[in-house]
Structure 1
């Protein structure tokens, strides 16, 4: 016989509770049939274990559907902590429990409904809503030095939006409340209404011509585009490399070496580049192409796998949009493995370059080979995995995103065998940019070539989207008529996008329609669109409209300017002035600029007279009035002067007005041209000192203790003057000179070594170079420390 743990009455069966107490507990349980786990136990002190009661011992009770999802009462509620027998609960307590569970259930149900409503609201606003995010520019034509306002709407509330131009070049927004704290200056904080306003300054990195400004929602990845035309001239872009010779040093067979190379733009605009003609096969680069305005870092890597001991030299060419190409020379030394090497870690290739598209859902896959080139068992593991946000020298909003996965992360390899490691790069959460990673593998302490590092990059290209052939269209139509403009616009998909893309076009103006309004395209096809201007409800004059082209998560605005002509005799005069902005850059006191021109054209059917008014004292316009016959044009020379002007930015406007033969203003109305003058502050190029290469390696033997001397190139740029000094911390290193003068042509310093009295092995020393300007102050880049490696062989 056993006692019931609840009422202390004797039980015939080996159960925790008697039948009466089981029924009482079941009735008071909120889940009823769902709370059907009981516990069997012996006397107090025994371990409780789950056990199902006999079915015949339980009465059939109804199920309560409204509470079916609630969890059963926990064991703490069913058993007193001391397991002391108790008397049954009174009926009023069971009623209290039921009432409170009903209240709790009702609250949970309301919370579930509210959660569903919030999810639906978020879906409508952020994910599946019909409102497409929009980017509107304050004006579409600007000059260098100007600022414009960007207006964002229909984005996810409280989201971060990244602003770029030309798909992957970061812009610098002026500080406003919309810029999030501690984030890069090209990120915008959207407000609760899904809107934001920020200002953008057009600096020297913006080349003259057409640019695409892009806003991408970090939450939904929706993209809005707008077209901006920049007028004026800037300093041309110029590519500069941090070094043109890289010494990867000496290491054992099968090892890798990695160094970075910085690409800099010392001018204005942007630079696109690609790697070409890499020789030989042991030399790798990542990434292999890119675009930047300020600078970008690439990695060069060498693999000594499968190479015989000795010295190796290779090269690669960097071809840039600036014209020409620059050569980078890479050298290294391969040392032999010892006779009984034990386990040897070899990982190849030493660098991987991958690419994908913004918004792609499939991961980019890659493989590495880990080989044991030794003669004993090798145990390896992943030592570290560093993921960098961007190689384009922009701090990234997504610094902590884990986009790189390695599998497997450890293993055992027999001598001469190879194991494959799979890399998965996930770009779903990455913006258009260049991302990098460094993976390091390690092996047992006795293994050679441990650890080994691999450099990789993932280029996230602009999203696959349908793009228009032009972003602005001009049309002429008579009042009261409809005119269709066929073949003015075509749609295409960029090369490299393999999927078929669906698109839609919707007019933002009631007088403009587009046909077809939707379709599907791939990279091998294109679609011509017809635009219809309805002037039946328009008065004579000029109208500006637009339509939006949508592809998946992107939108592009295309503007349409329509001139509505009056009916009757063809005596209309129309004045067209281009460009609407002129920009000049002069030095303080410079008397005159290079000539630019305003083009005035009469595109109507009758003559007109024109005149130019407004301007400033520093603006020189040769002709201020004239006449144009129908269909004719004239170029008006424009110059500026900086005489008497301090450094700074100056802006003025001129207005071009025209009247027809009857003395009435032409229907195109007066037109305004903005003219910008930047008087640049003259600066002296800062003085910079450099020395290359950063490492010299010598090979000596017991018989030949004085290998051939090598040279270090010393260079100074800017108005340096002054001198440089050289010193060494090793007695076996000799310098051809310990001092010299800083000259723009550069200097050579000869380094010699002497291994006399040294046993077999590797020795390291250093040469320190310190440069001073003409005032005796240390200049930029100073001091430089050169590493000297001496290998004494048998």
Structure 2
């Protein structure tokens, strides 16, 4: 069952009105009341049934007068009516909007307002299909022409159901339709059935106004209708139910809840913004974020541009640079500028030939807060020249010097093209060092090459420096030098190592980890040293420092003087103060010399110290500027795409926010996050709707971290064209190409050209001078019919380009048949080409490592190799290290690792072990290979470096002879003998030695004492003093002990040398004779006589004379003796005799007389 639209009673499903209402309208006298019934009925809207009683609230002053309400009597009960909702207001507002659209498209003159618009309407959009909806004019005509069929009268209760239904249908079809489109004219010319909706707005699709606006329009129309006299001002009851009141309360509750939710979201967004962007209120002056803009984003040689700096801190000091640290000099002496009280200043800059053609990044940095504002300048002087890496020399002769001496020479790197160059350097010799070892520059950069002769043997040496860059093949420089031997007993010798030091920090950080220099004295006398100089190497960065504070020095020493004993070492710690330093590379030289009143070999000595201050984290944009061309009154041009990316020094993901002071510039989205691998795409559009014809320049600023980047937006709004003119538009207006060097030519990209005018459009392309060598189009021109589109393919050829970012412009010029410039012309397509270096495994920081050790000594200190990779890699890049050959003595701190981003580094510690190794030279090769995540080997992979370990024999003491033997007569001087001492192997000279004698021999054995060996050997004199020692053999021991300088061990020490002393007595010889009488006038030999030699203590020696009576004694000690003889002659007569003898030397010719025995009387 459905309900009657008039009274609300139940009626058949297919009926609109109930039988009672149809019966009332069926009589001719009641048909005149139908229009009033229609008006009254239209004041209500059919609603769903509700339960409960209907309450009648206060009278609405806008309700119609009772005499217009209905034809019912006062006694009749008002039929149930569903509560009024916002549907009517929403519908009226939507239909009013549709009416305005129809008025704008169908009539030139304004339509008269009609009071019939005041009638509310039933929402019928859900019931009506678009294809079957009658045109308003057709419906109105049918209404005007409808007549009541003959024979139709009051419905009888006795009629059959079939006849009643048929009669009902006839009555319903005969009733006039409601005026659903009251704003249309009363009579319209009927259109073709197929075209009736061609130019008319669909009212069912235009109902989009909110209820509040609909209610306001409804009230205005009621008041206007009353004022015009269409309806009297009588009250109409306003029906409100408790349910409606509850709905209003719920609506209020939901509105409050939504407001709270929006407030919390806004607060969260604010917190996120602060967390991403940080609070930079201390950087900002009044009026907004600090910005740097140019009076003209393009310039040529000889022209001047004005740098407009705004919203910095009042009186802030700014440092102006372009590209990578190239100072912008305001005049000859000034590189710093001060802003005014309002945080702004205008600086005039002349563009000379030092500015290469192309795009240049211009920066202004607050030297206190380190806030950086940047923008881009386009120098339009010929094509952009690719970067080209050059060395100012490829041969360095460092000369000759004593062992331990250092030598420094500068080497300058140049860029003969435009753009930026990043580089690294490696050395194949440990004595050949460079500082800094890597960097980036746009014009030139100076570095220092150092030679370290410490611990080198005399001779000539050659080394090679290899420079790798992102713009070409590696380049080498050959370095030669000579080492001279120290003189013997040199006195104090000054040796400072290492010859170079490298520090690194980030702009805005306080400093870097301290390092130390080692001062060694390999001489023989104490070294008194002092620091005689701490001077910067002249470059652009130091010019800025001189202007900022001429007394500031970023290199600090904790000790300026000292004393080093012979063969001893002292450390000198160094500190860095980068508080006043901006991004760039700083070089200082420290000079050491002997203190006043003292001398030293190798005085003075210098070392180089480099400090690299890396730039702050900033954001970069793919397009330095944007240009739009449009025609007034037409649709706005297509958006341009801006690709944002964080710099290489950003720690990770950073937040960014983009804004524009120009309301005709749109940015979508205007905030987000980026990192140096994943960027953000931003659409920049313009809306020229309220702009007159003319030229407009705007600005887009992107804030990220502690920096802002400003890009100019150029908009040309052309005057409306003639009706027959062609109109040029293009989409897209910006293209981005990226490729990897050596990986071929990427596919072209299409730009769609549209002619929205009414005559043929001829177009042609033109490429600016910056990019004609690598940028092209196909075709270069054509013609587009009215209302049609064309296409041009933008092609690039990076074959001859080095890695870097290149920006070019394709200008599309359109013209009409008379060759006049077409409206919308020219259209500029900004083309950005990024040529990434190939994924390359860089050379190790050193191509050769050398270790020295002494057999049995301590293990050498590990050395560090720095590995890195760069280029367009499929990250992560996995590296593996392996040792070739049988080198069990070599150990690596890691065998594998990963690089996660370009220019990331990995440290590899290399440690040798000398355990079990004999003296000799050991060599090994370490291979490094790298593989992308796609299992593709990186270019220049594998790399390798060699490791040499020299195990030297220990310092040993060699002595000759290994024993001594002395022989001599008693109380006679014995000649001394020498012991030769030689120290061989790796000795810390001079080697000192001492000689000691065992206590049992100290009475007769002595040595020359102590001595030293400087490498040429030494001798030890050994003497004996037999003195009164009796003849015999004596043995003793000499102990030799040696030690190297500083107490180093000497193998073979101590050594014992045995000494043998043989003491001999004197000789005594003579003859024994027999005497005939006491006078022994006629002596005769006494053959075979027994000869005895005795002292008071007894006989010490006995001998027998020969046949001639001769005898001899040997080895007779000094002393007094009795020499006795006893023997018989041939007649067997016994003879005896004696004599006293004193022996103090060899005695010979002694005659011992033996008288005959006395005769018995």
TM-score after normalising by structure 1: 0.52
Q: Does 1:164 align with 2:321?
A: yes
Tell me what 1:504 maps to. 657
Q: Compute the displacement of 1:485 (Å).
A: 6.6
2:437 aligned residue (277, 282, 288): 288
Q: Does 1:244 align with 2:402?
A: no
Q: In structure 1, how many angstroms separate the alpha carbons of the residues matched to 2:816 and 2:581?
A: 57
Across the aligned residues of Structure 1 and Structure 2, the Cα RMSD in angstroms comes to: 5.0
Contact 2:327 2:540 in 1 (8 A): no
Q: In structure 1, how many angstroms separate the alpha carbons of the residues matched to 2:685 and 2:387?
A: 42
Q: Does 1:668 align with 2:824?
A: yes
The structure number with the bigger radius of gyration is: 2
Q: 1:431 to 1:425 in 2, by over 3 A?
A: same
Q: Compute the displacement of 1:347 (Å).
A: 1.8
1:573 aligned residue (718, 727, 737): 727
Q: Compute the displacement of 1:257 (Å).
A: 0.9
Higher relative contact order, structure no. (Cα contacts within 8 Å, ≥ 6 residues apart) = 1
Contact 2:731 2:753 in 1 (8 A): no
2:701 aligned residue (548, 551, 555): 548
Q: In structure 2, how many angstroms separate the alpha carbons of the residues matched to 1:241 and 1:167?
A: 19
Gaps of 5+ in 1: 1-122, 173-178, 580-598, 613-623, 636-654, 674-794
Q: Compute the displacement of 1:247 (Å).
A: 2.3
Q: Does 1:138 align with 2:295?
A: yes
Gaps of 5+ in 2: 1-279, 734-749, 765-779, 794-810, 830-1161
Q: Compute the displacement of 1:205 (Å).
A: 3.8
Tell me what 2:502 maps to. 353
Tell me what 1:784 maps to. none
Q: In structure 2, how many angstroms separate the alpha carbons of the residues matched to 1:481 and 1:269?
A: 39
Tell me what 1:308 maps to. 457
Tell me what 2:189 maps to. none
Q: 1:194 to 1:392 in 2, by over 3 A?
A: closer
Q: In structure 1, how many angstroms separate the alpha carbons of the residues matched to 2:500 and 2:287?
A: 44
Q: In structure 2, how many angstroms separate the alpha carbons of the residues matched to 1:284 and 1:627?
A: 65
Q: In structure 2, how many angstroms separate the alpha carbons of the residues matched to 1:474 and 1:259?
A: 50
Tell me what 1:434 maps to. 585
Tell me what 1:276 maps to. 425
Q: In structure 1, how many angstroms separate the alpha carbons of the residues matched to 2:284 and 2:590?
A: 36
Contact 2:813 2:825 in 1 (8 A): yes
Contact 1:136 1:226 in 2 (8 A): yes
Q: In structure 2, how many angstroms separate the alpha carbons of the residues matched to 1:557 and 1:215?
A: 12
2:554 aligned residue (376, 381, 403): 403
Alignment map for 1:605-684 (pairs within 5 Å) = 605=756, 608-609=760-761, 628-629=784-785, 630-632=788-790, 667-668=823-824
Contact 2:324 2:440 in 1 (8 A): no
Q: 1:462 to 1:563 in 2, by over 3 A?
A: same
User: 1:647-670: per-residue Cα shift (whole Å, max 9, x none)?
Assistant: xxxxxxxx9985668999855267
Contact 1:297 1:391 in 2 (8 A): no
Contact 2:358 2:384 in 1 (8 A): no
Q: In structure 2, how many angstroms separate the alpha carbons of the residues matched to 1:235 and 1:509?
A: 35
Tell me what 1:327 maps to. 476
Contact 1:573 1:608 in 2 (8 A): no
Q: Does 1:154 align with 2:308?
A: no
SS in 2 for 1:383: strand
Q: 1:665 to 1:438 in 2, by over 3 A?
A: closer
Q: Compute the displacement of 1:411 (Å).
A: 4.2
Q: 1:573 to 1:534 in 2, by over 3 A?
A: closer
Contact 1:273 1:318 in 2 (8 A): no
Q: Compute the displacement of 1:429 (Å).
A: 1.5
Tell me what 2:536 maps to. 387
Tell me what 1:764 maps to. none
Q: Compute the displacement of 1:259 (Å).
A: 1.6
Q: Does 1:254 align with 2:404?
A: yes
Contact 1:388 1:399 in 2 (8 A): no
User: 1:323-373: per-residue Cα shift (whole Å, max 9, x none)?
Assistant: 455432221111223443454332221112333333333435433233343
Q: Compute the displacement of 1:574 (Å).
A: 1.8
Q: Compute the displacement of 1:304 (Å).
A: 0.8
Q: 1:525 to 1:360 in 2, by over 3 A?
A: farther
Q: 1:563 to 1:246 in 2, by over 3 A?
A: closer
Q: In structure 2, how many angstroms separate the alpha carbons of the residues matched to 1:578 and 1:477?
A: 14
Q: Does 1:461 align with 2:617?
A: no
Contact 2:730 2:754 in 1 (8 A): yes
Q: 1:395 to 1:539 in 2, by over 3 A?
A: closer
User: 1:55-79: per-residue Cα shift (whole Å, max 9, x none)?
Assistant: xxxxxxxxxxxxxxxxxxxxxxxxx
Q: In structure 1, how many angstroms separate the alpha carbons of the residues matched to 2:673 and 2:471?
A: 37
Q: In structure 2, how many angstroms separate the alpha carbons of the residues matched to 1:391 and 1:312?
A: 34
Q: 1:404 to 1:631 in 2, by over 3 A?
A: farther
Q: In structure 1, how many angstroms separate the alpha carbons of the residues matched to 2:685 and 2:763?
A: 34
SS in 2 for 1:135: strand
Q: Does 1:558 align with 2:717?
A: no
Contact 1:153 1:196 in 2 (8 A): yes
Q: In structure 1, how many angstroms separate the alpha carbons of the residues matched to 2:820 and 2:475?
A: 61
Q: In structure 1, how many angstroms separate the alpha carbons of the residues matched to 2:451 and 2:622?
A: 43
Q: In structure 1, how many angstroms separate the alpha carbons of the residues matched to 2:812 and 2:627?
A: 20
SS in 1 for 2:501: strand
Q: 1:404 to 1:146 in 2, by over 3 A?
A: same
SS in 2 for 1:248: strand
Q: Compute the displacement of 1:283 (Å).
A: 0.8
Q: Compute the displacement of 1:282 (Å).
A: 0.7
Structure with greater strand percent? 1
Q: Compute the displacement of 1:544 (Å).
A: 5.5
Counting matched residue pairs gives: 492
Q: Does 1:196 align with 2:345?
A: yes
Tell me what 1:424 maps to. 575
Q: Compute the displacement of 1:454 (Å).
A: 0.8
Contact 1:167 1:214 in 2 (8 A): no
Q: 1:530 to 1:417 in 2, by over 3 A?
A: farther
Q: In structure 2, how many angstroms separate the alpha carbons of the residues matched to 1:563 and 1:200?
A: 27
Q: Compute the displacement of 1:455 (Å).
A: 0.9
Q: In structure 1, how many angstroms separate the alpha carbons of the residues matched to 2:647 and 2:351?
A: 27
SS in 1 for 2:553: coil
Structure with greater helix percent? 2
Q: In structure 2, how many angstroms separate the alpha carbons of the residues matched to 1:273 and 1:625?
A: 40
Q: 1:383 to 1:150 in 2, by over 3 A?
A: same
User: 1:547-600: per-residue Cα shift (whole Å, max 9, x none)?
Assistant: 21123432101345679999xx99972257999xxxxxxxxxxxxxxxxxxx99
